[in-house]
């Protein structure tokens, strides 16, 4: 939609892609034909005139039916799906236009409605009628419309914050890494723990394509002149954006990081939404400074693969799929034995831990699997024991 500041995104990535602005091509054709249309008034043209200009612009951009650039860079065609005008909603793209382009992927760029509203104050188009609430609706219509266009053509659709250029780049280049949503407490997290979140998300970016809610936080930057309807729209939009778009449309998994046990209804809802919609869910906590394990409700743990340190989680991502399942079993045994040691005061040693892990794996895996993987499993068991040895010492103390 208008007011995204998308030219800044395309400028950052200009060496990596071939970019065409459909609207600019339409205006250029109008100028060449002596038509009195500019950025400020082209939407006054009839729907028939706009359809003809779009068709001519697409033909100019892709004169031979979407040839691949000789240098191999992806071609980006930026266009509006629709427009919110003073008296109506006007189409900016039709299914016939999309059929002519034949895209491999559709991406809807989004931003916080407050930032869009501020940019539109400087826009040459006729957008002064737009309130925060109407900007929210426009953005939601854009996503809805694009989803249907993509579904009709059987291609992928993503919704990307305009200030996540690394995510946009990964998607347009077909990066094969898993696509995840990073969830974490925001409102109640203490200031001293916030650097841990920043570091965790940084490490996550190295392994995955990440959608980060901090890239488009909508609860800040509110103005005193916003109406009650505006404020309600912002709050509702935050839920739609994070659940329906960033998780429901975009992500294969949700990775929740909980460096401090504080209340976070958003994180809990995001995990539940993902779990109930068939996504993988991971919850990564951290052991307290005194070596104690966080006490997690079964309502939290049942829907997630739980990790008790960020290092454990990133080790897990490096493992082959068959060993990932084994790691979950081994880690579970360590947590159970640590809790028993804390409750009874009776410590356990390396041999006891190894015996318990092999027994648990034999119960969880097909006959013969443990023997076939014994060398790798023993190395993994040893690694887990060594990592948690300092915590065991603190629990014993």
> DSSP of 208-252, one letter per residue?
SEEE-GGGG--SSS--TT--HHHHHHHHHHHHIIIIIIIIIII-S
CATH value at residue 64: 3.40.50.300
Mean pLDDT of the chain: 90
pLDDT exceeds cutoff 90 at 66: no
pLDDT tens-digit readout, 208-267 = 999 999 887 655 668 888 899 999 999 999 999 999 999 999 999 999 999 887 778 889
Question: The tokens 């990790």 sit on which residue?
Answer: 307
Residue ranges making up the domain that contains 351: 319-397
Confidence tier at 143 by pLDDT (50, 70, 90)? very high
Last residue of a domain, one of 316, 333, 365: 316
Residue 265 host element (H or E): helix 265-276
Query: Are 157 and 72 members of one domain?
Result: yes
**CA–CA distance from 296 to each of 68, 173, 336, 366 (Å)?**
52, 40, 13, 31
User: Nearest CA to 249 among 144, 164, 167?
Assistant: 144
Domain count, the chain: 3
Query: Are 56 and 204 members of one domain?
Result: no
List the end-to-end C-alpha distance of the chain, in Å, as a whole number.
60
Last residue of a domain, one of 316, 347, 366: 316
Q: What contacts 194, CB < 8 A, 6 or more positions away? A: none
Query: Are 190 and 222 members of one domain?
Result: yes
Predicted model pTM: 0.88
Assigned token pair, 9: 């995104």
Last residue of a domain, one of 119, 148, 173: 173
The beta-strand segments (E) located in 37-88 are 75-78, 82-84
Q: What is the mean pLDDT of residues 157-173?
A: 95
d(CA 90, CA 83): 5
Query: Are 266 and 151 members of one domain?
Result: no
Query: Are 288 and 306 members of one domain?
Result: yes
Percentage of the chain surpassing pLDDT 90?
Answer: 66
Q: What is the mean pLDDT of residues 9-14?
A: 93
pLDDT tens-digit readout, 261-318 = 777 888 999 999 999 999 999 999 887 666 666 677 777 778 888 888 899 999 999 9
């Amino acid at each position: 939609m208008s007011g995204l500041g998308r030219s800044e995104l395309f400028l950052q990535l200009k060496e990596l892609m071939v970019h065409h602005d459909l609207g600019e091509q339409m205006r250029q054709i109008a100028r060449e034909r002596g038509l009195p249309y500019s950025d400020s008034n082209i939407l006054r043209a009839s729907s028939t005139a706009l359809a003809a200009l779009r068709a001519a612009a697409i033909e100019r951009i892709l004169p031979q039916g979407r040839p691949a650039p000789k240098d191999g860079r992806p071609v980006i065609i930026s266009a509006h799906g629709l427009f919110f005008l003073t008296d109506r909603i006007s189409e900016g793209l039709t299914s016939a236009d999309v059929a002519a382009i034949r895209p491999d992927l559709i991406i809807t760029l989004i931003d916080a409605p407050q930032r869009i509203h501020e940019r539109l104050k400087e826009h040459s188009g006729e957008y002064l009628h737009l309130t925060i609430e109407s900007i929210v609706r426009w953005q939601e219509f854009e996503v809805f419309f694009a989803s249907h266009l993509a579904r009709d053509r059987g291609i992928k659709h993503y919704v990307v914050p305009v200030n996540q250029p690394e995510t946009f780049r990964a998607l347009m280049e077909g990066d094969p890494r898993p696509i995840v949503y990073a969830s974490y407490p925001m409102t109640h997290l203490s200031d001293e723990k916030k650097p841990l979140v920043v570091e965790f998300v940084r490490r996550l970016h190295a392994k995955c394509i990440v959608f980060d809610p901090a890239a488009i936080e909508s609860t800040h930057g509110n103005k005193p002149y916003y109406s009650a309807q505006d404020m309600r729209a912002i709050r509702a939009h935050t839920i739609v954006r994070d659940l329906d778009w960033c998780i429901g449309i975009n992500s294969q998994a949700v990775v929740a990081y909980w460096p401090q046990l504080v209340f976070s209804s958003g994180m809990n809802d995001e995990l539940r939404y993902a779990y109930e919609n068939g996504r993988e869910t991971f919850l990564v906590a951290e052991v307290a400074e005194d070596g104690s394990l966080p006490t997690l409700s079964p309502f939290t743990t049942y829907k997630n693969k739980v990790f008790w340190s960020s290092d454990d989680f990133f080790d897990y991502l490096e493992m082959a799929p068959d060993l990932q399942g084994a790691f979950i079993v081994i880690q579970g045994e360590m947590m159970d034995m640590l809790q028993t040691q804390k409750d009874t005061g009776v410590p356990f040693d390396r041999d006891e831990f190894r015996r318990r892990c092999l027994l648990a794996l034999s119960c969880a895996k097909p006959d013969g699997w443990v023997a076939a993987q014994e060398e790798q499993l023993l190395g993994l068991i040893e690694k887990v024991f060594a990592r948690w040895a300092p915590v065991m010492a603190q629990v014993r103390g």
